[in-house]
Amino acid sequence: MQIAPGPSTKQALTSGWESAIWALPVLVLLAFAGSLSWFAFDVHEQAVEQEFRALESDARIGEAQVSGLLRNMDQFLNTVAREQRSLTPAQRASYDDVLAERKNQFPEIRGNNPAIHSTGRALTPQPSG
């Protein structure tokens, strides 16, 4: 003799099936959200790495420019020092103009940057215009 399932057994089977049917869309949405989050994180990390590479490149370029300018200024100052040692007092009087002209060889130096000769006299550039 078989016992036919009663209404409570059918209700238990149906309620289990209804709760299981919602699990699939929830799992799909969680998987989609997880993959989307991972993709966004990966894109962000790539952007950060690219920006750091660009900053490092700009820093190397700036360092090369500054070191080149410093090397040129060092050569310029060594030349001025050698010339100052070999000048007579009469030549030193006209050397101020020569020094001001040579300072103009460095267009990277802008603004009111005075050149100072051995007697301590500051030569400021004349405004152009």
DSSP codes joined into one string, 61-94? HHHHHHHHHHHHHHHHHHHHHHHHHH--HHHHHH
CB count in 10 Å sphere of residue 99 = 18
pLDDT by residue (tens digit) across 9-42? 556 555 666 667 788 888 999 999 999 999 999 9
Examine residue 47 and state whether it is found in any structural domain, yes or no.
yes
pLDDT by residue (tens digit) across 47-94? 999 999 999 999 999 999 889 888 988 888 888 888 888 888 778 777
Report the C-alpha gap between 129 and 125 in whole angstroms: 12
What global pTM score does this model have? 0.49
Backbone angles phi, psi at 115, to 5 degrees: -105, 135
Examine residue 114 and state whether it is found in any structural domain, yes or no.
no
Report the C-alpha gap between 60 and 67 in whole angstroms: 10
Examine residue 125 and state whether it is found in any structural domain, yes or no.
no
Domain containing 85 equals 20-106
DSSP type of residue 128: P
Examine residue 39 and state whether it is found in any structural domain, yes or no.
yes
Per-residue pLDDT at 129: 47
**What's the total number of domains in the chain?**
1
Examine residue 30 and state whether it is found in any structural domain, yes or no.
yes
Examine residue 85 and state whether it is found in any structural domain, yes or no.
yes
What confidence category does residue 2 fall into, taking pLDDT thresholds of 50, 70 and 90? low
